[in-house]
Structure 1
Amino acid sequence: MFETSKELSALGSGFTAAGLAQMNARVQRQTGREIDQVRSRAVVAAMVEQGRGFIAELALNEVGSLSALETHLIQVAPLGEARYKHIVDAYAMGAARTITRFS
């Protein structure tokens, strides 16, 4: 746990090391626990956003690759065009749903 007085001073809300020292030990412990909980929630939120970004980047790369393959297959076997488009669109929609749900 970080030094609570420094953390409170850094918040700029009028808390000082002297003011914190005047708090009783129970209030100091409770304040420290609450600060730790806020810090933990912030770390989790940051990790969720990194995970969402990773999944989005992967999905974009996959959609790009599948779209290039779709274009190639349309040239090679044009009768399958509707099916190729449907498959790539289905993948893209599924990836978008996954990104939306990831939290």
Structure 2
Amino acid sequence: MTNELTPLPSPLPASGSPFGASAVQRQIRREVELAHGRANLAYAMEEARGLLATHALEIAGSLSAMEAQLLAVAPLGEARYKLIVDSFAMGAANAISRLR
């Protein structure tokens, strides 16, 4: 994954008119630029969700491994360990789903 966004090329050629682009051409160009901006934003949000999900999975895995180790040493804390790990997982899932 790369952190750089590449702007999409414009499908419209520059106006050859000495008086510049017509109102219709300018409107089309604005709408195309807006669509490109939305596409770039959607791409960036998907990248952010992917990075957050990857990081959350790594942490959840580490917490789960720690939970297993603690169960072997202090089994009476099972409910607390589970609550902590599950709370992290739910919080991370909520944070990821809030990105729109």
TM-score of the two chains, using structure 1 as the length reference: 0.78
2:25 equivalent to 1:28: yes
Q: How does 1:1-103 map to 2 (within 5 A)?
A: 2=10, 4-5=12-13, 25-103=22-100
The structure carrying a bigger helix percent of its residues is: 1
Unaligned stretches of 5+ residues in structure 1: 7-23
> Which amino acid in structure 2 is aligned with residue 91 of structure 1?
F
Give the number of aligned pairs: 86
Identity of aligned residues (%): 49
Moved over 4 A (4+): none
CA RMSD of aligned residues (A): 1.7
Measured in 2, the distance between the counterparts of 1:66 and 1:26 equals 59
Whether the aligned pair in 1 keeps the contact of 2:10 and 2:32 (CA below 8 Å) is no
Higher RCO (CA < 8 A, seq sep 6+) = 2
DSSP-derived class of the 1:4 partner: coil
Q: CA deviation at 1:56?
A: 0.6
